[in-house]
Structure 1
Amino acid sequence: MTISEEITSPLIDQSKQVQVNASSSNKPDSNELELLNSSVEQVSLTVPITDDPTLPAVTFRMWVLGILACMILSFLNQFFWYRREPLSISSISAQIAVVPIGHLMAAVLTRRVFFQGSKWEFSLNSGPFNVKEHVLITILANSGADSVYAIHVVTAVKVFYKKNLNFGVALIVVVTTQILGFGWAGIFRRYLVEPAAMWWPQNLVQVSLFRALHDKEERPKEGLTRNQFFIMSFICSFAYYIFPGYLFPMLSSISWLCWVFPDSILAHQLGSGLKGLGIGAIGLDWSSISSYIKSPFASPWFATANIGAGFFLVMYVITPITYWLNIYNAKTFPIFSDGLFTSSGQKYNITAIVDQNFHIDLDAYNREGRLYISTFFAITYALSFACLTATIVHVFIFHGSDLWQQSKSALNEKKVDVHTKLMQRYKQVPEWWFISILLLNIVATIFACEYYKDQLQLPWWGVLLACGLAFSFTLPIGVITATTNQTPGLNVITEYIIGYIYPGYPVANMCFKVYGYISMKQGITFLQDFKLGHYMKIPPRTMFMAQLVGTMVSAMAHLLTAWWLMDTIPDICDRAVLPSGSPWTCPGDHVFYDASVIWGLIGPRRIFGDLGYYSAINWFFLIGAMAPILVWIASKCFPSQGWIKFISMPVLLSATINMPPATAVNYTSWLLIGFLSGFVAYRYYRNWWSRHNYVLSGALDAGLAFMAVLLYLCLDMQHVSLDWWGNHPDGCPLASCPTANGIVVKGCPNYETHI
């Protein structure tokens, strides 16, 4: 079974594909291009099979608009990341906004050629605003749209641990973790960009939008062009977001079960979309739908179904059973929480167990007692263990032969699709460029960790070990991302490894995680951008340059924004001190900080090892390894049951990997939209889906982003707010209350009288 056979159904007849010599320089005619079209139907329906190599890509407009978009998106995404409902403004917003500006610059800028006849010759106006420079602007904007994970380290040290971290040291960590991924991307390009089966579903949203904005299209009878549909959807999204964004925030999580039983802890636990199981809860807010799992419109149906199965299994089978059987004293703690607790359900005093050298004080830890987490939090860690081994085994048994063949045929003849054929006319990026950047960053990281060891705590061998992990997992996780639009994470296994080897040092644990996990994730982000350039026929060297510049600009802008917010907002992230209703609660940073305590400060041996309370969850490493094997056996034993081959255990087991900070309502609403798009529309309204599905996703993103920024500038900055019952999301205040006898927590009633 090939990769493409596994991930799509139905497929274009593969007998129509022809085998071409990879080194051939003959220009294919239109009939050959049709024959070479992608075997992935979503791609063949969305991506154009033409190219105009005469279009200028690197222009003055591209640099100005691209860098400006990167800086603005970096500022906005970092700014909103600290808020209670983190808003992720995608590059699609910039993709839309720069179009009229690009056309305006093409109309008004002088076309004078400076330094004519020399190698420095350039012009401010290269002619009409074209799609290739638009793609490069979007690539630069993409750098600002992605979060800079290393900022979590800065926030944890400065805000939560309240320790010193120099700006220069923070900048080195942020830049090196972002750039390190170039090395992994360069090494694995041939496996994750060139093959047609590696189709990167998320890119099809932007490809559709580029076509809507640049293709000349006749309006179909009784229908709309892509551009008209986008404009209408954008206006509706923009206008609607004023309700969940300001007038009626409860639309983000409508938990009607809590309204029916306002005094029942059990009903609140079951019905809360933000702090409970989310039964019946739904969010009518695009930001809550797409904030953690990306757009449901971009997810193939088989991946959506796997996520739905995983979510149902965890939230409605495993969690209720473990909670009501009181496994790990589950009833002593909230049913859904990322908090750290004492044995009596109270908040754990972390500062009491940290000594003056920023190391664990074991005597103080013994006095304070063992640290506990909610049973749901323990389950998410167990599933992270299972996901890791499942990813390795799944890729080996389902894709191993394909990857081996690609390795052997890298320099020989191989099947290519139209997009790879067209890209062969451009100069490729030499692999030594990537290797040089990789080695330079490793050396710089080792130097920083050794020279600033008192602040970063990570020894030189820890850097090399982290890089080894990133290298080992980029390919298997890249295959999962490129075919399902979901990215299993390495964050837990990196914490686990360094926590065992080097316990008691929280900053070392965090740094190891960002170098081992984020450099891999950045590599996958670069590969996804390379595939976007591949689809849009952007010269690879030009793509490389835009990505490198965008990453540097984004790293600096994110760090400056975060540093400014931490210095100017009183008590940022401190939920116990912040005034009621304050948006600066930092949900993602809380989870990151909690993880640094569990894995770094206290260490996995005292939590999940022989000295810990949760040691049994280590069996999930074995469970994860066995799961794909069972699927493979079932597919061989029951070949007539075609649906079995679409079961992806890495996706299923990692379905709830974003929880917390993601909540139940983020999933219930996402799954509903994913079903309507990936199953109903794709199967029964194929023509509408091919024209409008990805365009609708982009329009919803853009409309929400523009209204969110407008609301902040016009209302939030002026401290204009509403205070009524619809202004309180969820409306389930009892969902976080414990239900064990004798456990008293501030703000919670006695459970026995409030069942």
Structure 2
Amino acid sequence: MNSTTSFLQSKKLDPEAPPSYVPSTELEVEEVNDSPIEQVRLTVSIEDNPKLPCLTFRTWVLGITCCALLSFLNQFFGYRQNALVVSSVSAQIVVLPIGRLMATYLPKKAVRLPGTKWSFSMNPGPFNLKEHVLITIFANSGSSSVYAVDILTIIKAFYYRPIHPLAAMLLTLSTQMLGYGWAGIFRKFLVDSPYMWWPANLVQVSLFRALHEHEKRPKRGLTRLQFFLLVLVSSFAYYIVPNYLFPSITALSFVCWIWKDSVTAQQIGSGLKGLGVGAFAIDWSTVAGFLGSPLATPGFAIINILVGYVGVVYVLIPIAYWTNMFQAKKYPLFSSHVFDDQGLPYNVSIVLNQTLFEFDLEGYNGYSRVNLSIFFAFLYGLSFATLAATVSHVLLFHGRSIWQQSKASFEDKFGDVHTRIMRKNYDPVPQWWFYSLMVLVTGLAMLACEGFGRQLQLPYWGVILAMSLAFLFTLPVGVITATTNQQPGLNVITELIIGYIYPGKPLANVAFKTYGYISMSQAIMFLSDFKLGHYMKIPPKSMFVVQLVGTVVASSVYFGTAWWLLTTVDYICHPESLPEGSPWTCPGDDVFYNASVIWGVVSPLRMFGRLGNYMAMNYFFLIGALAPVPVWILSRIYPEKKWIRLINMPVILGGAGAMPPARAVNYNCWLAVGILFNLVVYRKYKGWWARHNYVLSAGLDAGVAFMAILSYFALQFRNINGIGWWGLELDDHCDLGGCPTAPGIKVDNCPVFN
């Protein structure tokens, strides 16, 4: 990744610019024979050596190890206060020296399996690029979260209900693997077509090329690998401080320390419960925990996110709260929880029949409507706007290009050099492999939902409807992702549809959402990986096998890690009952649980429909659809002003979309680090940035991950949670930041206003 900038700069291509090509049927013959997309021509090699071994002993050992390790780490961190995501880039960098060591020291003599005639070599020669790519595909499976585990978590940790482990495992596997069917159906269009170019893959292509080119250590400098190891050791050594000795530095809010008795001041200053004015942290996991590494985000995207974040957090929310919109002052300023009309936490047990585990209308009518914090309500509205704006933006800015690409792809008029090489040198994956797998996984999905006493509540027709939605959206969303690098999410739409059709069933709602949204998302991921293999000239059958095995391994490890933590960590996901200093607060799962109450138990009709308090949020669909129009008009009037096209309304509207579970302190730190490195350092020290920026990100991630695991198993697993003192609390010490300010509302540990 770090080589992308320098490589593209050498070709006079701005690495920060968004895709801005217009494919033409009048391309010169030479360009058609290479690739009709300029970025691909400048980045992807047109050379191939089909004799290089791919599925070697090294590939299997390092690939499965990376997949399992990243799966464990990401699920392990998923339950923690700052849910750091360890990306496949760390594995991509680390396995290179390990692979070369194996190539140097492993025996080359063939090993024969006892009782068979089959043999293999543990060391077929130098560690090559194709092995490295397949190992990274394994790692991609481990670094991609398993959404179905959230269902398991809310069942056990929030609803306190049993679930058969086999049903949970089948749910996990089937939701992750259904996407193979859609990928197989649409791969000719979304992979073989040169117009479906998947811009994000070009970054990894450049990184592979940089890592496999010979690198000489600069005078008085370090190689990229040496720099990575230095950052890794430093990050590893430092993380003992925020993780164990001084957890309070993960969120520092000085405003709260100055005005200790002011609810308003703490609402403004709290980085965890409020607007986060002046809040910051000295902790990489706070920076990258929910938003990913800011070092990997282009500068123009960071500015768009900054504009959206400031507009929502410091303009929209304060106006709405202090004008008491939706009776906002009855509830905390920032919270992902649900509340009753008296400002108290909503007692879900009153409106949920525990015997049938479904909505109790009589209990609801005698209790209260569901209320949200003003932050949570508007973020749902903004999610509506973001989805609509994504469709509008793509149609306006890329509609003509996508239509031309679509016609060319379906007519199969163009076959670029990469497609010709793949067709000439490698056998394609038989279509029946995909269809057979889809039929098998559909059967497993039906068994998971209809079997085991229908613990997941979703009937067979719900599975079929969810699959139909995934099938319907895979092609258009795939085209959008493959050409614009933007992937619209279907989570809100799927929740909305099943919430109206089959209300009052919380687990049916989340299961439907997962089968509809995640199977499509997985298909997009599989297609993206296939395109990476297409660019790197990996045999398609090897890609299929690695993806399949990686998905099974990742699903199993994610499930096993979640089950282990849910059954061994006392009071996991309940911060009020956890010992001081314990990080197992599950912020992401807390949001998922409350979404299941909003969309599943109570249903959208009683939240955002005519029977709810937040019907006005539906206007955000219209706002989002219209938002890109002025930008598009200005870009047409002033085509010479290229900065106008960098204004991305879906990104701006979704700028604060990770809140919750992300908090203001996460955004403050993320934006500060991102602006420093991808605007200031990028412009002033471009050579250093191109060489070290992404390696720095990978080293910081890896160091935090390794220290967190070590400290947990060595200390926290044995309930040794550090020396008891003020700094041990995993909080920003803004106790009043979550208090309501409406007169007469009584909440524990909060003052009552008159």
Q: Which residue of 2 aligns with 1:745?
A: 747
Q: 1:427 to 1:302 in 2, by over 3 A?
A: farther
Instruction: Choose 132-141 or 674-683, whichever is displaced more.
Output: 674-683
Q: Using the alignment, how far apart are the partners of 1:512 and 1:260 within structure 2?
A: 48
Instruction: Choose 5-14 or 658-667, whichever is displaced more.
Output: 5-14
What displacement does 1:504 show?
0.7
Q: Which amino acid aligns with 2:75?
A: Q
Q: Which residue of 2 aligns with 1:373?
A: 372
Q: Which residue of 2 aligns with 1:245?
A: 243
Q: Using the alignment, how far apart are the partners of 1:11 and 1:504 within structure 2?
A: 46
Q: Which amino acid aligns with 2:695?
A: V
Q: Using the alignment, how far apart are the partners of 1:20 and 1:121 within structure 2?
A: 45
Q: 1:631 to 1:11 in 2, by over 3 A?
A: closer
| SS of equivalent to 2:38 | coil
What displacement does 1:641 show?
3.1
| SS of equivalent to 1:409 | helix
Q: 1:685 to 1:172 in 2, by over 3 A?
A: same
Q: Which residue of 2 aligns with 1:496?
A: 496
Q: Which residue of 2 aligns with 1:57?
A: 54
Q: Which residue of 1 aligns with 2:403?
A: 404
> Gaps spanning 5+ residues in structure 1: where?
25-32
* Residues 514-525 of structure 1: pairs in structure 2 closer than 5 A: 514-525=514-525
Instruction: Choose 669-678 or 553-562, whichever is displaced more.
Output: 669-678
Q: 1:247 to 1:447 in 2, by over 3 A?
A: closer
Q: Return the match for 1:732 from 709, 734, 751.
A: 734
Asked if residue 603 in structure 1 is aligned to residue 614 in structure 2, the reply is no
Q: Using the alignment, how far apart are the partners of 2:671 and 2:585 within structure 1?
A: 27
Q: Which residue of 2 aligns with 1:304?
A: 302
Q: Using the alignment, how far apart are the partners of 2:302 and 2:206 within structure 1?
A: 20
Instruction: Choose 140-149 or 178-187, whichever is displaced more.
Output: 178-187
Q: Which amino acid aligns with 2:403?
A: W
What displacement does 1:52 show?
4.0
What displacement does 1:101 show?
4.1
* Residues 547-562 of structure 1: pairs in structure 2 closer than 5 A: 547-562=547-562
Question: Does structure 1 retain, via aligned residues, the 8 Å contact 2:402–2:479?
Answer: no
Listed one character per residue, the Cα deviations across residues 105-138 of structure 1 (whole Å, up to 9, x for unaligned) are 334433223569x994422221233332222222
Q: 1:234 to 1:189 in 2, by over 3 A?
A: farther
Question: Does structure 2 retain, via aligned residues, the 8 Å contact 1:7–1:483?
Answer: no
Q: Which residue of 2 aligns with 1:156?
A: 154
Q: 1:297 to 1:524 in 2, by over 3 A?
A: farther
Q: 1:608 to 1:104 in 2, by over 3 A?
A: same
Q: Using the alignment, how far apart are the partners of 2:469 and 2:437 within structure 1?
A: 18
Question: Does structure 1 retain, via aligned residues, the 8 Å contact 2:338–2:594?
Answer: yes
Asked if residue 82 in structure 1 is aligned to residue 83 in structure 2, the reply is no
Q: Which amino acid aligns with 2:370?
A: L
Q: Which residue of 2 aligns with 1:528?
A: 528
Listed one character per residue, the Cα deviations across residues 529-558 of structure 1 (whole Å, up to 9, x for unaligned) are 334434544333212211110101111121
| SS of equivalent to 1:639 | coil
Question: Does structure 2 retain, via aligned residues, the 8 Å contact 1:209–1:695?
Answer: no
What displacement does 1:255 show?
2.1
* Residues 332-371 of structure 1: pairs in structure 2 closer than 5 A: 332-355=330-353, 356-371=355-370
Listed one character per residue, the Cα deviations across residues 140-178 of structure 1 (whole Å, up to 9, x for unaligned) are 122122221101111222222222321121122111110
Q: 1:656 to 1:487 in 2, by over 3 A?
A: farther
Question: Does structure 2 retain, via aligned residues, the 8 Å contact 1:6–1:645?
Answer: no
| SS of equivalent to 1:717 | helix
Q: Which residue of 1 aligns with 2:584?
A: 584
* Residues 5-16 of structure 1: pairs in structure 2 closer than 5 A: 8=17
Q: 1:394 to 1:431 in 2, by over 3 A?
A: farther
Question: Does structure 1 retain, via aligned residues, the 8 Å contact 2:36–2:194?
Answer: no
Question: Does structure 2 retain, via aligned residues, the 8 Å contact 1:391–1:477?
Answer: no
Q: Which amino acid aligns with 2:737?
A: A
Question: Does structure 1 retain, via aligned residues, the 8 Å contact 2:23–2:36?
Answer: no
RMSD: 3.2
| SS of equivalent to 1:122 | strand
Instruction: Choose 657-666 or 570-579, whichever is displaced more.
Output: 570-579
Listed one character per residue, the Cα deviations across residues 330-381 of structure 1 (whole Å, up to 9, x for unaligned) are 1111111011111111111112222111111111112221111111111111
Q: Using the alignment, how far apart are the partners of 2:340 and 2:607 within structure 1?
A: 13
Q: What's the TM-score, normalizing by structure 2?
A: 0.89
Q: 1:404 to 1:481 in 2, by over 3 A?
A: closer
Listed one character per residue, the Cα deviations across residues 473-519 of structure 1 (whole Å, up to 9, x for unaligned) are 33454456557766442211111111011101111101111011111
Q: Which amino acid aligns with 1:343?
A: D
* Residues 23-102 of structure 1: pairs in structure 2 closer than 5 A: 39-40=38-39, 44=42, 51-102=48-99
Q: Using the alignment, how far apart are the partners of 1:10 and 1:607 within structure 2?
A: 39
| SS of equivalent to 1:737 | coil
Q: 1:527 to 1:624 in 2, by over 3 A?
A: same
Q: 1:258 to 1:751 in 2, by over 3 A?
A: farther
Asked if residue 185 in structure 1 is aligned to residue 186 in structure 2, the reply is no
> Gaps spanning 5+ residues in structure 2: where?
1-12
Q: Which residue of 1 aligns with 2:724?
A: 723
Q: Which amino acid aligns with 1:601?
A: V
Listed one character per residue, the Cα deviations across residues 606-648 of structure 1 (whole Å, up to 9, x for unaligned) are 1111111111111111111112233222322333432222222
Q: Using the alignment, how far apart are the partners of 1:295 and 1:440 within structure 2?
A: 37
* Residues 208-357 of structure 1: pairs in structure 2 closer than 5 A: 210-211=208-209, 213-221=211-219, 223-355=221-353, 356-357=355-356
- In the alignment of these two chains, the number of paired residues is 734
| SS of equivalent to 1:721 | coil
Q: Which amino acid aligns with 1:727?
A: L
Q: 1:9 to 1:389 in 2, by over 3 A?
A: closer
Listed one character per residue, the Cα deviations across residues 223-267 of structure 1 (whole Å, up to 9, x for unaligned) are 443233323333332333233223333332232222332322222
Listed one character per residue, the Cα deviations across residues 427-462 of structure 1 (whole Å, up to 9, x for unaligned) are 443455434433443344235433456312222332
Q: Using the alignment, how far apart are the partners of 2:627 and 2:435 within structure 1?
A: 36
Q: Which amino acid aligns with 1:265?
A: V
Q: 1:695 to 1:591 in 2, by over 3 A?
A: same
| SS of equivalent to 2:359 | coil
Q: Which amino acid aligns with 1:129?
A: F
Listed one character per residue, the Cα deviations across residues 180-217 of structure 1 (whole Å, up to 9, x for unaligned) are 12233344445655677866566566556545654311
Asked if residue 690 in structure 1 is aligned to residue 687 in structure 2, the reply is no
Q: 1:646 to 1:166 in 2, by over 3 A?
A: same
| SS of equivalent to 1:334 | coil
Q: Which amino acid aligns with 1:78?
A: Q
| SS of equivalent to 1:368 | coil
What displacement does 1:415 show?
7.8
* Residues 455-494 of structure 1: pairs in structure 2 closer than 5 A: 455-478=455-478, 481=481, 487-494=487-494
Q: 1:565 to 1:143 in 2, by over 3 A?
A: same
What displacement does 1:421 show?
6.7
Q: What's the TM-score, normalizing by structure 1?
A: 0.89
Q: Return the match for 1:175 from 162, 173, 178.
A: 173
Q: Which amino acid aligns with 1:88?
A: V
Q: Which amino acid aligns with 1:725?
A: W
Q: Using the alignment, how far apart are the partners of 1:109 and 1:400 within structure 2?
A: 53
Q: Which amino acid aligns with 2:738?
A: S
Q: Which residue of 2 aligns with 1:30?
A: none
Q: 1:232 to 1:18 in 2, by over 3 A?
A: farther
Q: Which residue of 1 aligns with 2:652?
A: 652
Q: Which residue of 2 aligns with 1:139?
A: 137
Question: Does structure 2 retain, via aligned residues, the 8 Å contact 1:292–1:658?
Answer: yes
Q: 1:309 to 1:414 in 2, by over 3 A?
A: farther
Q: Using the alignment, how far apart are the partners of 1:709 and 1:204 within structure 2?
A: 32
Q: Using the alignment, how far apart are the partners of 2:224 and 2:37 within structure 1?
A: 22
Question: Does structure 2 retain, via aligned residues, the 8 Å contact 1:332–1:740?
Answer: yes
